[in-house]
Amino acid sequence: MREQNVAVIGGTGFIGGHLLARLAGDGVGTRVAARHYESAKHLTTLPYLDLELGNIHDDAALRRLVDGCSVVINLVGVLHGGHGEPYGQVFRQLHVELPRRIVQACLDAGVPRYLHMSALGAGHRASMYQRSKADGELAARSEPRVTATVFRPSIVFGPGDHFLTVFANLQRRLPVLPLACAQARLQPVYVEDVAAAFSLALREPRTRGADIELGGPQVYTLAELVHLAGRYAGHERHVLELPDWAARLEARLFELLPGEPMISRDKLATMKTDNVVDPQTQALTAEALGIKLTSLEAAAPHYLAAPRGLDDYREHAGR
């Protein structure tokens, strides 16, 4: 039986897939936005899930999506959004304007709650990404009649991620890995723990109107995480730490290539700020909500390890 109807925007991506599976397991009915069926086909086997095809940048389609729901969850986010002041147009459209339009759709449809995905480090800082995330939080709380809960995770890892998996794959291909911002500090949080926090927020009164900061049980440097990714993949390589000037040059070159750059000058600016939960934070945390955090060492080896071929199994068996 469905407990409630929850609209999920940005549900076809990495975090969305894990969250929707969690909500289905909890018996929560969900309505998921997708522009094309193919992008959401992998979700259609989940119970209690309705797929709503349409363009979330169309106000009428957005209103149809949220109509009759008790909560709206927005997971939409990008790491690269072009250049501009105070941020690029894609950042503006997805991180700021979309939350404002979602809140208006909630108000028009009588939806009382909105769960908004932001990011740890959001603020009026050096990077366009961080500034757009901060303005997105303001947009999420632009209407007092719609109660917003804001989630700020550190980097999220797990099966299907674009973080540890990328570094593992690079080390399978390269003899040496050049690395910018190698000493940047991060507190990676497991995707299932993020999903658990969203699920808990649907029924926990303390989360209404709250900020929730999510970090894993341990803080690492980026270099340490890269080494772990390579080790778990069975191809740990030497990491060449790039000085700032070389990192900026590398980022500039990547920006000239077609497609989304692996590294950009804005991402370098983001990495200048420690991506960790402040021990003095006034926000709720996973620990405060009673969520038992999963360590990277417990989860990452299971999805980063390369598939073993027949010869490997024979060698292991002594044949």
* Candidate from 38-47, 159-168, 250-259 with smallest mean pLDDT: 250-259
Whether the CA torsion 155, 161, 165, 167 is positive or negative: it is negative
Q: What is the spatial distance between Cα 300 and Cα 159, in angstroms, rounded to a whole number?
A: 8
Identify the three-state secondary structure at position 34. Answer: strand
Residue 58 placed within a domain: yes
Is the confidence at residue 258, as pLDDT, over 90? no
Q: What is the spatial distance between Cα 13 and Cα 112, in angstroms, rounded to a whole number?
A: 25
The two three-digit tokens of residue 110, written as one number = 């009588």
Is the confidence at residue 316, as pLDDT, over 70? no
The pLDDT of residue 259 is 77
Is the confidence at residue 1, as pLDDT, over 60? no
Residue 300 placed within a domain: no
CB-based contacts of 249, cutoff 8 Å, min separation 6:
none
The pLDDT of residue 319 is 44
Q: Residue range 212-216: average pLDDT? A: 98
Q: What is the spatial distance between Cα 63 and Cα 224, in angstroms, rounded to a whole number?
A: 45
Question: Are 66 and 5 contacting, i.e. CB atoms less than 8 angstroms apart?
Answer: no
Note the pLDDT tens digit of each residue in 27-54.
999 999 999 999 999 999 999 999 999 9
Note the pLDDT tens digit of each residue in 102-134.
999 999 999 999 999 999 999 988 899 999 999
Is the confidence at residue 314, as pLDDT, over 60? no
Note the pLDDT tens digit of each residue in 164-203.
999 999 999 999 999 999 999 999 999 999 999 999 999 9
Residue 100 placed within a domain: yes
Q: Residue range 77-101: average pLDDT? A: 92
Q: What is the spatial distance between Cα 276 and Cα 62, in angstroms, rounded to a whole number?
A: 34
Highest-confidence segment of 52-56, 85-89, 292-296 = 292-296
Share of the chain above pLDDT 90, in %: 85
The two three-digit tokens of residue 137, written as one number = 């939080």
Residue 17 placed within a domain: yes
Q: How many domains is the chain built from?
A: 1
74: Cα separation from own chain's centroid: 11
Share of the chain above pLDDT 70, in %: 94
Q: Residue range 150-162: average pLDDT? A: 97
Between the alpha carbon of residue 76 and those of residues 12, 14, 93, the distances in Å are: 10, 11, 11
Residue 12 placed within a domain: yes
Helix (H) or strand (E) segment spanning residue 149: strand 147-153
The pLDDT of residue 3 is 55
* Complete DSSP assignment for 94-113: IIIIHHHHHHHHHHHHT--E
Q: Return the beta strands (E) in 199-271 as ranges.
A: 211-214, 220-221, 238-241
Question: Are 80 and 260 contacting, i.e. CB atoms less than 8 angstroms apart?
Answer: yes
In this prediction the pTM is 0.92
**Per-residue b or e along 15-45, where b marks 16 or more CB atoms closer than 10 Å to that residue's CB:** bbbbbbbbbbeeebbbbbbbeeeeebeebee
Residue 104 placed within a domain: yes
CATH number at residue 58: 3.40.50.720
Q: What is the spatial distance between Cα 167 and Cα 176, in angstroms, rounded to a whole number?
A: 12
Tell me which residue of 149, 280, 133, 294 sits closest to 208, measured CA to CA: 149
Task: Look up the domain containing 285 and give its range.
Answer: 5-156+189-215+277-291
Residue 151 placed within a domain: yes
Residue 11 placed within a domain: yes
The pLDDT of residue 4 is 67
Q: What is the spatial distance between Cα 293 and Cα 168, in angstroms, rounded to a whole number?
A: 23
Is the confidence at residue 262, as pLDDT, over 80? yes
The pLDDT of residue 137 is 98
Q: Residue range 208-231: average pLDDT? A: 98
Question: Are 32 and 72 contacting, i.e. CB atoms less than 8 angstroms apart?
Answer: no
151 C-beta neighbours (distance < 10 Å), count: 26
Average pLDDT, the chain: 92
